């Protein structure tokens, strides 16, 4: 229910009651592989064209271990419910590894 009233020369609108949509999918669960590529490019300061599924984080993008850890933290922040352990960071060597990890977490659609 939406109500409007005027007070001190302005209009104030209030919302009565809102109920969340049942079964709504959070936006973060609908992100695509291109969104992952964009996040990687932004976080590592490279052009998105240089980020493909075969791109190696260290050899192709120049990311050291700390850069990769910071990237994984950014990924966890972006994708609700994703957890990337230190062991995962060691195993995620190329962008495709990261995408597969997120797909296994059911957070990214192909």
What are all long-range contacts of 20-29, with beta carbons under 8 Å and residues at least 24 apart? Answer: 26/80, 28/78, 28/79, 28/80, 28/107, 29/79, 29/80, 29/106, 29/107
Q: Say which of 47, 64, 77, 88 is annotated catalytic.
A: 64
Q: Where are the alpha helices (DSSP H) in 1-110?
A: 33-44, 65-78, 86-91, 95-104
Task: Specify whether 64 is catalytic.
Answer: yes
Q: Which positions are annotated as active-site residues?
A: 64
């Amino acid at each position: 229910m939406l109500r409007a009233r005027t007070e001190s020369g302005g209009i104030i609108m209030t919302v009565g009651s809102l109920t969340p949509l049942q079964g709504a999918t959070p936006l973060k669960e609908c992100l695509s592989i291109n969104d992952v590529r964009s996040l990687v490019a932004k976080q590592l300061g490279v052009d998105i064209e240089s980020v493909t599924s075969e791109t190696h984080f260290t050899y192709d993008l120049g990311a050291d271990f700390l850069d990769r850890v910071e990237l994984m933290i950014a990924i966890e922040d972006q994708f609700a419910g994703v957890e990337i352990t230190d062991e995962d960071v060691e195993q995620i060597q190329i962008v495709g590894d990261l995408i597969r990890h997120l797909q296994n977490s059911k957070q990214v659609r192909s």
